[in-house]
Every structure is written in structure tokens, then in C-alpha cells.
Amino acid sequence: MDLPNLRWWGWGTLDRTFPLEGRPHFWPTLKEWLGLPEELTERPPVPLEAVRLRPSRLDDPVLASLRRLLGEDTVRLDLRARVEHAFGKAYRDLVRARAGMFPNPPDAVVYPADEGQVAALISWAVDREILLIPFGGGSTVLGAVEPPEDDRPAITVDLARMDQLRWLDRVSHLACIQAGATGPEVEAQLNAQGFTLGHFPQSFEFSTLGGWIATRAAGQTSTGYGKIEDMTQAVRMVTPVGVVETRNTPATATGPRLLDLFVGSEGTLGIITEAVMRVRPLPEVQDYRGFLFRRLEDGIAALRDLMQAGPRPTIARLSDAPETAAFAALAHTHSGLRALLDRVAEWYLGRKGLTPGDEACFLLLGYDGPAREVRALWRRATAVCRDHGGFPLGRRFGESWKRERFVHPYLRDTLLGVGVMVDTLETATTWSNLMHLYEVMTGAVRAALCETDGGPGYVMTHISHIYPWGGSLYTTFLGRQAVGAEIEQWWTVKRAATEAILAAGGTLSHHHGIGRDHASYLDGEIGPVGLRALRAIKDALDPMGVMNPGVLLKA
């Protein structure tokens, strides 16, 4: 039902970690950048046995009735289940988990087998005023799966058992998939029939279709394959007032599009049980390559050209100078042919006045498709990049990016273990506002890091989801942890960043969602009339307020 060795205090599974062997520059560089002491003190998480949880508030008759509803072994109250489902994977979640602080764990964790059980469970919970917290992979970074401070008991609904491809329409390139399928489960079932969804968020291995849809997620190849909302043709959702299903149609003009209310509803209107997804034949090749640009602005101009005049890439990820320097610091020491190639590349770059760590910016660019077509696209794309001074680094950088595309979250655990605060922020805006937003937001984060004794800190950003009309910004910030005040420190930075984003015209989130952390800022995004509309829908579909309260809309 669950992976046996989930890292309840961090990312992924206990048997894996970010491999730092063969990367000699990493620690020295990091210590210099963050002003860390030469000798780092390891601060391990508390052992699971030492965690003390509030006892479940569900009494025996209620539990007996729940077990009659769902079956004996799919209602769990054990420490591990409750701890694993108490938080998402935000920085502040991991800080609390490592310290064994679980103020509001779920009172039970249940695993419905099918939509019928989901419907029965919701009506059972409404009757008893018990809160339900829908749970996919639990990778939220905004507190969207954390039970609220509330007198009512809370049950987490883990959809892990609902992971099947229900049908594939090969003619229409559509697949009906259950909401609890994780990334690997989605892709394995589709790949077996020659198709792919093409949604690869960094959380891919530990997030689910339902979670992606509920949060309006974006995968690394969203530039080519679209965000999850672009891939979602129809959903089925069980609400406290009944099941709702949107029409399986490529487009419609039947009033406001309700599909877009349910996509992004973050478990607050009901539980998405399955969705009809737009799928594609597996691409023959995925040809991803690296480029280096003199300045961020040049790289942005190339991306804009590619989106407005073509050829539109499948993936584009442009790092600013600090992130490019971080890649260099994290690089493997190569030997033999590889080292030679490195030196040749460096020599070329030097001749062109490009040195990583300076203002140079790394671009990962890629095309999926039939081999012949991809070759033709690359000829055009290379010309566009060269027009903007881009220096081609070849496929090697694309291949190494592919190998490491899902492992970076493990590095965060390593850093948290030695007293480094590390978190990410993301937003989006128009091309004309992108540099302004970038400067205002990263400036606010740097200032807040200094203010909270986390400084000087390190702030790095990439642009990784692009459109003809603009793009997203994804910022990682690192600083020294304020020991004993980690959460307050983080909130200071988060608040500064969020206010800067809204003031500079960015959207509150491009693909992480609202959750609990952004709920008090939603007003700044959609205004009082927008909030009024959202509250009305919430009250209409969840009149008792049992579905994930406090997420999306402030309690």
C-alpha cells in the first residue's frame, strides 16, 4: 500500500541520497557562499520511536463503523502511517518532522479502493463532521495535506490504491487514469501501450495524477507537453453533494468551464477520483542539449524568439548566473576523454569571454519527437540561440541533466542536516515584466536573508516553463538556519518574497498552488470579488466544510 521505506522526515526513500562523491568543489564553495563554519555539525532527525503523537480522536464505535465501510486493513492508526501523512515536503514541514514536532497529525489514514468507497467515506464523514484530507503523494510544498488546528477529528484519505489506467482511446489519444497513480505508475501503464503523458515534475516519483490536477502542476517538459491543466480533458470528482463529471470533449462553450474549477481545487471541493488525460505516442528521441549565454537577458531573448517564432521546444530551462555557478560547483570531476572535452569547451568559452561564475547563464534546451523532425528543429533552434550569442555545449549536458532530473530534493535533506535553510519559490509573468519581477523578487529574498541572520545567503533562479507571452521564475534560496527559530526565519523570507511577487506583477504561484501558506495572499491575486466567487463554490459543494479546510481559502 505504501512504499516500505519512505523518509518521513525528508524526501523519497531511505535507501537513496544525493551522491556527493566525486564533486570536490561542492562543500568548500557552499561554505564560502553561505559563511558556514569549516566544521559542520550534523543534526540528525529524531528517531521515529521518539515521536509522540496526540492519540487519535476517533473513538472505538466510530473506528468500527469506518472499518465496516472501508475494510479492516485499510484504516491505519499506527505511528508510521500518521507521521508519514502529517505533513507535505515543504522546508517548514521537514524542519518540524526532523524535530519530531507533529502538532496536528491525522487521526487516521484510510486507503479507499474505488470511487464507491470514496463516496461512502465522504458521506460518512459529513454525517459525523469529520474532516477529510485528500492525499496523493504528499509532495506539496505549501502545507496542502496538513490537517488543521481544529476540534473536529481529521482523516487523511490516501488514494494509493486507486492507481489504474482504466482505458486508453488510441484513436483520440486519451487515457482515463485513476487519481492515485504516481508518476512511475502513470508512465509505466501508458508506456506499455506506446503512449506517454509527458508530465515529469521534480516530484515525479512521489506525486500522483490527482495531486497534479488538484494543484495545477507543471512538469519539466511543460513547454512542449503543457501544464497538467492543458493535458486534462475531463475529471470525475466526488463532492459532499454528489459526484460531478465533466464532459469528455476537446473543447466546449457550455458556460463557465467547470473543469477549471475542479482543476486547482486542492481537495477543498471534493476528491478527484479519475481523469481523462490527453496522451501522446512515446517520442522516438529526446534530444536535450546545453548552451551558454553571455547574460541572462540574452538567454531570455532566445527563449522568447523560440516561443514566438519557433521552433517551440519541449523543454527549456535557463539558469541565471548564480544557478549556473552552482551547477559548476556541483559538477563531477571528470577524467580521460571527458576532462579533455571539458578543457576544450572551457578554452572556447574563454575565447568568447564566457566564464561560468561570471554573468554567464546555462540553458538546457530539448526537443522530443521523430528523429528526423528533431534534427530539423535543432538546426533552426541552434540558429536562434546563436543569434543571441548562445554557445552550444552539446548533448553531454543534456544527458547529465536527464540522469539527475529527480534527485535534487535529496540534496535538501543533506543540507538541512548541517543547518542550512533551503527552499524554493516560483511565479510567472509576461516577457516584458520578467526581468523586473526577477530583480524585485530575488532582491527581496536576499534582503530578507540578511535581515534574519541567514545572510549573506545564496539566491539562484531559473526560467523553466515558457509561453509565447511570458515565462515562469523558479528561485532557490539558501541561508544559515537561525537555530531554534527556523520557522519564523523562513516565514520572514517567504513573506518578503510573496509580497514582492504580488507587488511586481507576478502570479502567486505558477505551479505549486495555494495550500495553507499562500491562502492569506490569495486576495492579492484574485481580489475580493474573486474570493467571494470561490467561497460561494466551496459553500455550495462542501456545505459542512469538511473537505481540507484552511487550504486555498483561509478558515
Catalytic residue numbers? Answer: 474
For residue 316, the minimal CB distance to its own copies (Å) is 13
Would you count residue 173 as binding its own copies (CB under 8 A)? yes
Would you count residue 337 as binding its own copies (CB under 8 A)? no
Q: Smaller CB distance to its own copies: residue 343 or 532?
A: 532
Give the integer Cα–Cα distance in Å for 10 and 417: 10
Would you count residue 428 as binding its own copies (CB under 8 A)? yes
Q: Which stretch binds its own copies (CB under 8 A): 46-54, 189-197, 278-286, 360-368?
A: 278-286
Would you count residue 176 as binding its own copies (CB under 8 A)? no
Site for its own copies in 364-383 (CB under 8 A): 373
Q: Which stretch binds its own copies (CB under 8 A): 41-49, 341-349, 423-431, 484-492?
A: 423-431
Q: Smaller CB distance to its own copies: residue 355 or 433?
A: 433
For residue 278, the minimal CB distance to its own copies (Å) is 6
Site for its own copies in 289-318 (CB under 8 A): 304, 308, 310
Torsion of CA 33, 34, 37, 42, to 10 degrees: -120
Q: Smaller CB distance to its own copies: residue 7 or 199?
A: 199
> Is the sign of the CA dihedral 39, 46, 14, 88 positive or negative?
negative
For residue 534, the minimal CB distance to its own copies (Å) is 6
Candidate list 181, 263, 345, 547; residue touching its own copies; CB under 8 A: 263
Q: Smaller CB distance to its own copies: residue 99 or 241?
A: 241
For residue 442, the minimal CB distance to its own copies (Å) is 18
Would you count residue 469 as binding its own copies (CB under 8 A)? yes
Would you count residue 243 as binding its own copies (CB under 8 A)? yes
Would you count residue 209 as binding its own copies (CB under 8 A)? no
For residue 283, the minimal CB distance to its own copies (Å) is 12
Cell digits of residue 102? 507533529
Q: Smaller CB distance to its own copies: residue 214 or 292?
A: 214
380 near 280, Cβ under 8 Å? no
Q: Smaller CB distance to its own copies: residue 67 or 280?
A: 280
Q: Tell me which H or E stretch contains 375.
A: helix 371-387
Shortest CA distance to 275 belongs to which of 317, 246, 254, 314?
Answer: 246
Would you count residue 494 as binding its own copies (CB under 8 A)? no
Would you count residue 357 as binding its own copies (CB under 8 A)? no
Q: Smaller CB distance to its own copies: residue 23 or 173?
A: 173
Torsion of CA 170, 174, 178, 181, to 10 degrees: 80
Would you count residue 499 as binding its own copies (CB under 8 A)? no
Candidate list 251, 337, 403, 484; residue touching its own copies; CB under 8 A: 251
Shortest CA distance to 425 belongs to which of 406, 410, 407, 440?
Answer: 440
Cell digits of residue 488? 519564523
Longest dimension (CA), the chain: 77
Location of C-alpha cell 519530531: 100
For residue 147, the minimal CB distance to its own copies (Å) is 20
Give the integer Cα–Cα distance in Å for 98 and 3: 20
Give the integer Cα–Cα distance in Å for 71 and 82: 18
Give the integer Cα–Cα distance in Å for 241 and 285: 46
Q: In whole angstroms, how far apart are CA 90 and each of 186, 476, 503?
A: 24, 13, 24
Give the integer Cα–Cα distance in Å for 518 and 508: 8
Would you count residue 338 as binding its own copies (CB under 8 A)? no
Site for its own copies in 522-551 (CB under 8 A): 522, 525-530, 532-537, 539-541
Candidate list 241, 341, 482, 487; residue touching its own copies; CB under 8 A: 241
State phi, psi for 49 to the nearest 5 degrees. -65, -25
389 near 359, Cβ under 8 Å? no
Give the integer Cα–Cα distance in Å for 13 and 406: 13
Would you count residue 352 as binding its own copies (CB under 8 A)? no
Q: Smaller CB distance to its own copies: residue 387 or 539?
A: 539
Give the integer Cα–Cα distance in Å for 256 and 388: 42
Candidate list 247, 338, 352, 375; residue touching its own copies; CB under 8 A: 247
248 near 234, Cβ under 8 Å? yes
Location of C-alpha cell 484519505: 157
